[in-house]
Structure 1
Amino acid sequence: MESTDVQGDLAQVLVTEEQIHDKLRELARRIEADYEGEDLLLVGVLKGAVMVMADLSRELRNHVEIDWMAVSSYGNSTKSSGVVQIRKDLDTPLEGRHVLIVEDIIDSGLTLSWLLENFAARGAASIEVCALLRKPDAAKVEIDCRYVGFDIPNEFVVGYGLDYAERYRNLRDVAVLAPHVYA
């Protein structure tokens, strides 16, 4: 879906599809260098990270394994509740593994903070984070994110996997959702 297809629902396009692909290519080169010779497991956080995971993994030129975890702290709201619910757990044991969590967005950081603690308790050798987007002004906890695509304002955004009530995930850009849509 192009931004022009839902122009009336969007307040502003923040990051275009082309900018996203350029940034993922850049991040992939850094990840390759940092994990050269290592057995890397990419863990995507469903559902939002589907697009990021697909495009980032295709940019990587070394072998990686992929697994998925579904957690939620949003429901159909525009703000995180802070209560994390596991909807789908990993299929891969983490003990002794180098794990890169692939996220669409770091908002409050509460969900990601919980994931980092959970993965550490499972015995991962290392855990790093790659997030396409980060909202520094929305942070409620400090998250050390090694790979960040774009810092964005504290607005409710959709597109490139990000949704509002399961809509707009297939929007190719990342855009601010117009308040009249969710008011």
Structure 2
Amino acid sequence: MDVEDIRADLTEVLITEEEIHAKLAELARRVEADYADTTPLLVGVLKGAVMVMADFARELRIHIDMDWMAVSSYGAGTESSGVVRILKDLDTDIAGRDVLIVEDIIDSGLTLSWLLQNLRSRGAKSVKILALLRKPESIKVDVDVAYVGFDIPPAFVVGYGLDFAERYRNLRAIGVLAPHVYE
């Protein structure tokens, strides 16, 4: 889906598809350098990180393993509730592994803080975070993020995996959802 297909639903386009791909390539070079002597396990956080994970993994020039978790703290609302539920757990034993969590967005940090603690408690050798987007003004819990694509304002954004009530995930860019859509 292109921006022009849903222009009336957006107040602005924050990040274009081209900018996203350029940033993922830049982050991939950094990750390759940091994990040159190991095979990291990329853990994508469903459903939002699907696009980020797929395009990021294809940018990497090192061997990786991949797994997925689904956790929820949003429901159908526009703000994180902070109450985390595991909807799908990992299939991989992460004990002794270098884990790189791949996230679409860090909003409050509450879900990610919980996820970090959960994965560390399973005996991972290391756990780092890569996030395409971060909302610095919305963060409630300080989370160390090793790789950040873009810092964005505290607006409700959709596209490139991010949704509102399961819609807009397939938008190729990231845009600010117009209030008339969700009010």
Give the C-alpha shift of residue 84 in structure 1: 0.3
Which letter does structure 2 place at the counterpart of 1:149?
G
Give the C-alpha shift of residue 39 in structure 1: 1.9
Q: Answer yes or no: is 1:50 the counterpart of 2:50.
A: yes
Which ranges of 4 or more aligned residues in structure 1 deviate by more than 4 Å? Answer: none
Give the C-alpha shift of residue 161 in structure 1: 0.1
Quote the Cα distance in structure 2 between the aligned partners of 1:154 and 1:89.
29
Q: Answer yes or no: is 1:85 the counterpart of 2:82.
A: no
Cα deviation per residue 1:94-147 (whole Å; 9 max; x = unaligned)? 100000000000000000000000001000000000000000000000010000
For residue 161 of structure 1, give the secondary structure of its aligned residue in structure 2. coil
Query: Runs of 5+ in structure 1 lacking a partner?
Result: none
CA contact (8 A) 2:39 2:62 kept: no
Quote the Cα distance in structure 1 between the aligned partners of 2:61 and 2:128.
19
Quote the Cα distance in structure 1 between the aligned partners of 2:39 and 2:48.
25
Quote the Cα distance in structure 2 between the aligned partners of 1:48 and 1:137.
20
CA contact (8 A) 2:14 2:175 kept: yes
Quote the Cα distance in structure 2 between the aligned partners of 1:173 and 1:28.
19
Structural mapping, 1:92-107, within 5 Å: 92-107=92-107
Which letter does structure 2 place at the counterpart of 1:24?
L
How many residue pairs match? The answer is: 183
Quote the Cα distance in structure 2 between the aligned partners of 1:89 and 1:11.
36
Give the C-alpha shift of residue 17 in structure 1: 0.3
Which letter does structure 1 place at the counterpart of 2:30?
R
Give the C-alpha shift of residue 37 in structure 1: 1.2
Quote the Cα distance in structure 2 between the aligned partners of 1:57 and 1:15.
20
Match of 1:166 in 2: 166
Match of 1:154 in 2: 154
Quote the Cα distance in structure 2 between the aligned partners of 1:11 and 1:84.
30
Give the RMSD, CA atoms, in angstroms.
0.4
Which letter does structure 2 place at the counterpart of 1:48?
G
Which letter does structure 1 place at the counterpart of 2:73?
S
Quote the Cα distance in structure 2 between the aligned partners of 1:85 and 1:156.
22
Match of 2:139 in 1: 139
**What TM-score do the two structures reach when normalised by structure 2?**
1.00
**What TM-score do the two structures reach when normalised by structure 1?**
1.00
The percent identity for this pair of structures is 69
Structural mapping, 1:5-20, within 5 Å: 5-20=5-20
CA contact (8 A) 2:106 2:112 kept: yes
Quote the Cα distance in structure 1 between the aligned partners of 2:9 and 2:182.
10
Quote the Cα distance in structure 1 between the aligned partners of 2:120 and 2:61.
27
Give the C-alpha shift of residue 93 in structure 1: 0.6
